């Protein structure tokens, strides 16, 4: 059984992480990483997640700002500028893309 399920699901695991952030000298990076992996697998986006817009030719990585489900859009930001993206074109940036600082398949990665 994976960590997220052991903690009772994504929301409960996220709440556990929030509780622990106030405790000094605790490292819960493993839980943060498990939550990020869960979000990647289930197309869940949180503020600050690094994302790419597969609907654009541009190789940029964006920061997720806000979900707008009523219009199937998301607000994303890059270099202080906000823009909108269709949810069906949005995905989490992969670890390799984050390391490279760009969307790899666009740049021949």
Whole-angstrom Cα distance, residue 62 to residue 17? 24
Whole-angstrom Cα distance, residue 45 to residue 89? 13
Residue the block writes with tokens 């819960």: 28
Q: Are residues 96 and 55 in the same domain?
A: yes
Q: What is the pLDDT of residues 17-60, one digit of tens each?
A: 888 776 655 667 788 899 999 999 999 999 999 999 998 888 99
Q: Is 96 inside a domain boundary?
A: yes
3-state secondary structure of 37: helix
Whole-angstrom Cα distance, residue 42 to residue 61? 19
Q: Per the structure, how many domains does the chain have?
A: 2
Q: Are residues 35 and 60 in the same domain?
A: no
Tokens, residue 34: 């498990």
Q: Is 68 inside a domain boundary?
A: yes
Q: What is the pLDDT of residues 61-104, one digit of tens each?
A: 999 999 999 999 999 999 999 999 999 999 999 999 999 999 98
Length of the chain: 109
Q: Is 89 inside a domain boundary?
A: yes
Q: Is 32 inside a domain boundary?
A: yes
Question: For helices 10-20 and 29-42, what crossing angle results, to 10°?
Answer: 150
Q: Residue 87 sits in which domain range?
A: 49-100
Whole-angstrom Cα distance, residue 94 to residue 109? 12
């Amino acid at each position: 059984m994976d960590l997220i399920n052991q903690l009772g699901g994504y929301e409960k695991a996220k709440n556990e992480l929030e509780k622990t952030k106030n405790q000094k000298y605790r490292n819960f990076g493993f839980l943060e990483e498990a939550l990020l992996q869960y979000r990647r697998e289930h197309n869940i986006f949180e503020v600050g997640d690094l994302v790419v817009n597969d609907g654009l030719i541009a190789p940029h990585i964006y920061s997720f700002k806000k979900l707008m489900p009523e219009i199937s859009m998301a607000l994303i930001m890059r270099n202080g500028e906000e823009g909108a993206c269709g949810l069906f074109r949005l995905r989490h940036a992969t670890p390799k893309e984050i390391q490279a600082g760009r969307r790899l398949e666009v740049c021949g990665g």
